[in-house]
Structure 1
Amino acid sequence: MPPLSQRPSPGQKERLSTDREESSIPMGGKFEGKNWVYPSEQMFFNAMRRKNWTPQEKDMGVVIPIHNAVNEQCWRQILLWEKLHQTSCAQPKLVKFQGKPKEYTPKARIRQLMGYTLPFDRHDWTVDRCGTTVEYVIDFYSGAQEGGEGKASFFLDVRPKMSVEGVVDRFRMWWSTGTGLW
Structure 2
Amino acid sequence: MGWFWANAASKPHGKFPPGAVCPIDHSGTAAVCPVVVADDDIEVLNPLNNMPMAISSQKAPGQKIILSTERTISLIPRGELLDQGNWEYPSPQQMLNAMLKKGKGQGIDEEAVTSMVDVHNFLNEGAWQQILDWEKPHTLETRVEPRLEKFTGRPHDLSPRAQTYLFLGKIFPETFNTQPPFDRHDWTVLRSKGRNEGWEKVRYVIDYYGAPDDEDTGMPAFMLDTRPALDSVTAASDRFERWFFPLWRRAMGDFSDRQ
TM-score bracket for this pair, using the shorter chain length: 0.7 to 0.9
> TM-score, normalising length from structure 1?
0.88
Please say if 1:7 is aligned against 2:58: yes
1:150 deviates by 5.7
Q: Aligned match of 2:75 in 14, 17, 24?
A: 24
Pairing 1:91–2:91 present: no
The answer to whether residue 176 in structure 2 is matched with residue 107 in structure 1 is no
Matched-pair contact (CA < 8 Å) for 1:123–1:138: yes
How much does 1:12 deviate? 2.6
Aligned to 2:185: 123
Higher share in helix: 1
Q: Per the alignment, in what secondary structure is the counterpart of residue 96 of structure 1?
A: strand
Quote the Cα distance in structure 1 between the aligned partners of 2:157 and 2:60: 28
Are 1:171 and 2:240 counterparts?
Answer: yes
Asked if the contact 2:96/2:105 (under 8 Å) is kept, the reply is: no
- The match for 1:72 is 125
Cα distance per residue 1:11-48 (max 9 Å; x no partner): 33222111011111111136744011111001222233
CA 117–95 in structure 1, closer or farther in 2 if over 3 Å, else same? same
Structure 1 consecutive aligned stretches of length 4 or more whose deviation exceeds 4 Å? 30-33
TM-score (norm 2): 0.63
Q: Comparing both chains, which one has the higher relative contact order based on Cα–Cα distances under 8 Å and sequence gaps of 6 or more? A: 2
Deviation at 1:111, TM superposition (A): 1.1
Find the structure with the greater CA-based Rg. Answer: 2
Q: 2:135 touches 2:146 (CA, 8 Å); kept in 1?
A: yes
Matched, 1:134 2:202: yes
CA deviation vs aligned residue, 1:63-104 (integer Å, no higher than 9, x gap): 222111111110000001101212035210011111111111
RMSD: 2.0
Distance in 2 between residues matched to 1:128 and 1:172, nearest whole Å? 21
**Residues in 2 aligned to 1:103 and 1:143: alpha-carbon distance in whole angstroms:** 20
Distance in 2 between residues matched to 1:112 and 1:169, nearest whole Å: 24
Secondary structure in structure 1 of the residue aligned to 2:142 = coil
Check conservation: 2:191, 2:201, Cα contact below 8 A.
Answer: yes
Aligned residue for 1:146?
214
Q: Residue 39 of structure 1: SS of its match in structure 2?
A: coil
Name the counterpart of 2:104.
Answer: 52
Further displaced range: 160-169 or 91-100 = 160-169
Change in CA separation of 1:9 and 1:156 when aligned onto 2, cut-off 3 Å: same
The answer on whether the counterparts of 1:84 and 1:169 sit within 8 Å (CA) in structure 2 is no
Asked if structure 2 preserves the Cα contact closer than 8 Å seen for 1:26 and 1:32, the reply is no
The number of residue pairs the alignment matches comes to 178
Alpha carbons of structure 1 residues 114 and 123: separation in structure 2 relative to 1, 3 Å: same
Please state whether the residue corresponding to 1:159 is helix, strand or coil. Answer: strand
CA distance in 2, matches of 1:149, 1:83: 32
CA change 1:75–1:51 in 2 (3 A) is farther
Q: Work out the CA distance in 1 between the residues paired with 2:180 and 2:61.
A: 33
